[in-house]
């Protein structure tokens, strides 16, 4: 293949396995792509500070984080899409009444509006990251936020969806949902990078497994769903590879002809 491509990888369940470990085969494949002159990028729902170690380990400097709300190209911020703060403040007031904690997130840190709560611990611990939100109920004031976390059980988020049209609410854990700017997505973040680099659609690839990957995989021409992906995700992808636990990245790169 002479034409160089850009390949976007989701993190959890795609690059990292269910133990949040990077398979050796995946790491070797990433470096082979880079040696061939391709650009390797990340497209994740995580905050930038939640995957610094992974970026360093893989030498990746281009990424779409917060599901498209904070986009970085070659180490420089390319595009941001912050939350509507007045609407977030109102949502937080309702959440407090319902005993639903909220975590506020910018590009550097995250803070919780309550001192502690079992739902926060359970969901954040599942990410196996070193960061844990300290208590600062006013962290949303005077800064851009790109995502918030609302902690509630499945189905309870509907009351917020019905009232707060400024946001997209996406569940990522049995007791936690993402609060994102309406219409923001990994696909739109990727589009910003592709336009800046002038990449042709034939040379654009994306790998993912989660519900927040559906728009990305249905938009990118060469899309690959992991074998461990949920069925709605597999349904929109052009290819389905093996599970992340079964060298799925290597298999998927072979499927699309990059390895």
Would you name the residues annotated as active-site residues? 10
Cβ partners under 8 Å of residue 249, min gap 6: 9, 14, 15, 23, 25, 26, 29, 30, 207, 241
Q: How many whole angstroms separate alpha carbon 195 and alpha carbon 109?
A: 29
Nearest C-alpha neighbor of 23 from the set 247, 229, 210, 182: 247
Tell me which long-range contacts 158-165 makes (C-beta under 8 A, separation of at least 24).
159/94, 159/98, 160/91, 160/94, 160/95, 163/91, 163/94, 164/87, 164/90, 164/91
Task: Give the count of beta carbons closer than 10 Å to the beta carbon of residue 23.
Answer: 18
Helix or strand (DSSP H, E) at 134: strand 134-135
Q: How buried is residue 139: exposed, middle or buried, by Cβ count under 10 Å (0-12/13-18/19+)? A: buried
76 beta partners: 73
Nearest C-alpha neighbor of 24 from the set 253, 256, 244: 244
């Amino acid at each position: 293949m002479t034409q160089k491509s850009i390949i976007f990888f989701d993190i959890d369940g795609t690059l990292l396995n269910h133990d949040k470990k990077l398979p050796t085969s995946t790491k070797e494949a990433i470096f082979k792509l880079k040696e061939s002159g391709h650009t390797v990028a990340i497209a994740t729902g995580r905050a930038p500070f939640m995957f610094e170690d992974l970026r360093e380990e893989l030498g990746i400097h281009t990424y779409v984080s917060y599901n498209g709300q904070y986009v970085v190209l070659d180490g420089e911020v390319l595009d941001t899409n912050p939350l509507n703060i007045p609407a977030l403040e109102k949502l937080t007031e309702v959440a407090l009444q319902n005993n639903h904690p909220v975590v506020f997130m910018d590009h550097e840190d995250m803070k919780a509006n309550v001192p502690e709560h079992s739902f926060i611990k359970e969901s954040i611990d599942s990410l196996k990251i070193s960061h844990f939100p300290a208590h600062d109920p006013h962290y949303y004031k005077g800064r851009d936020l790109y995502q918030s976390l609302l902690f509630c059980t499945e189905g309870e988020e509907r009351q917020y969806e019905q009232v707060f049209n400024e946001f997209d609410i996406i569940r990522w854990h049995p007791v936690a949902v993402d609060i994102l700017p309406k219409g923001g997505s990994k696909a739109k973040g990727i589009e910003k990078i592709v336009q800046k680099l002038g990449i042709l659609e034939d040379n654009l690839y994306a790998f993912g497994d989660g519900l927040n990957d559906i728009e990305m995989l249905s938009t990118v021409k060469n899309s690959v769903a992991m074998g461990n992906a949920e069925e709605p995700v597999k349904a929109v992808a052009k290819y389905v590879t093996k599970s992340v636990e079964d060298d799925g990245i290597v298999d998927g790169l072979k499927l699309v002809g990059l390895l």
